[in-house]
Amino acid sequence: MADKLTPLIIDALTRAAADPAGAPLYASKTDPGLFPASSVAKPAAKKCLDDGLLQLCRTDVKGKAARELYAATDKGLNYLVEHANAKEVIDDFVRILEERRGEVRQLLGEAQRIADGVDGLLRVITRLASRPCEGSVSGQNPTLDRVGSPNQDLPALVFSALQRWQAATPVARDCPLPDLHRALDSHPSIGEFHDALRQLHADDRVYLHPWTGPLYALPDPPFALLIGHEIAYYISPR
């Protein structure tokens, strides 16, 4: 009986070694498991659990159903090394690595697609936020009228406002960009404000910190600034 179970156990431990995060004990139509869903495999699965070769590592909720996921123990990995045909296990691992590499490529492609979409949205938001308000005079220089200084002086004003904001904040923390804009004595457009932030960042005078929550929870999204592939929403002086 043991000889009949050994190939099933070796195969299950090979699968478990390739998926240390855990896998269902038995295969289903939608989930590859460690053992086939057959009566022949049940004694092999029971032996693995009884002998401590496999253990329950976590319970995963998928849809409305909860799945128990199992992983190989150190004892199980030692069993695999001692009893398996090395060439067969290596061949299995190479096949699994090729499958995983394909999955990684798909994930990277999807991540790039999402990043490109975020870039496009932020570009449109920035352009919309930079449009002059209704009633402004065409050709008027908003920076001269509101700030009272040439455009190149705006980064210095922003940096000074950042220092004042931090000095007035009892607990040290990064300044949200909308708060910094409101802290300015003048009120430049968001586009001018962003240009000043980019200049300060290029001059290594400030750190721009990303928004780490979901995009739908972003307050005052027009103030978010796209830096590379990150959405900056906080700032601190260097």
Per-residue pLDDT tens over the stretch 45-68? 999 999 999 999 888 876 667 889
Whole-number pLDDT of residue 146: 39
How many CA atoms are closer than 13 Å to the CA of 14, on its beta-carbon side? Answer: 21
Whole-number pLDDT of residue 126: 67
Residue 154 within a domain: yes
Stretch 147-151: mean pLDDT, rounded? 43
Q: Which class for 113: exposed (0-12), middle (13-18), buried (19 or more C-beta within 10 A)?
A: exposed
Length of the chain: 238
Can you tell me which residue has the tokens 């040290």? 172
Residue 227 within a domain: yes
Confidence of residue 215 (pLDDT cuts 50, 70, 90): confident
Residue 58 within a domain: yes
Confidence of residue 43 (pLDDT cuts 50, 70, 90): very high
Whole-number pLDDT of residue 71: 93
Q: Which class for 218: exposed (0-12), middle (13-18), buried (19 or more C-beta within 10 A)?
A: middle
Whole-number pLDDT of residue 141: 41
Confidence of residue 86 (pLDDT cuts 50, 70, 90): confident
Beta-strand relationship, 225-227 and 54-62: unpaired
For 78, 111, 139, the CA distances from 84, given in Å and listed in that order, are 10, 38, 79
Whole-number pLDDT of residue 103: 77
Stretch 225-233: mean pLDDT, rounded? 81
Q: Do 71 and 21 have their domain in common? A: yes
Instruction: Tell me how many domains the chain contains.
Output: 2
Q: Do 212 and 126 have their domain in common? A: yes
- Mapped onto helix, strand or coil, the DSSP state of residue 220 is coil
Picking from 141, 124, 123, the residue whose alpha carbon sits closest to that of residue 132 is 141
Confidence of residue 132 (pLDDT cuts 50, 70, 90): low
Q: Are 186 and 160 in contact (CB under 8 A)?
A: no
Domain of 146, in residue numbers: 118-131+141-237
Question: Any bridge partners for residue 176, and if so which?
Answer: 234
Whole-number pLDDT of residue 143: 37
Stretch 124-147: mean pLDDT, rounded? 50
Q: Are 189 and 142 in contact (CB under 8 A)?
A: yes
Stretch 192-201: mean pLDDT, rounded? 89
- Distance of alpha carbon 49 from alpha carbon 56, whole angstroms: 9
Q: Do 127 and 204 have their domain in common? A: yes
Residue 213 within a domain: yes
Mean pLDDT lowest among 23-32, 51-60, 149-158: 149-158
Residue 61 within a domain: yes
Picking from 133, 129, 118, the residue whose alpha carbon sits closest to that of residue 193 is 129
Q: Which two tokens stand for residue 35?
A: 């053992």
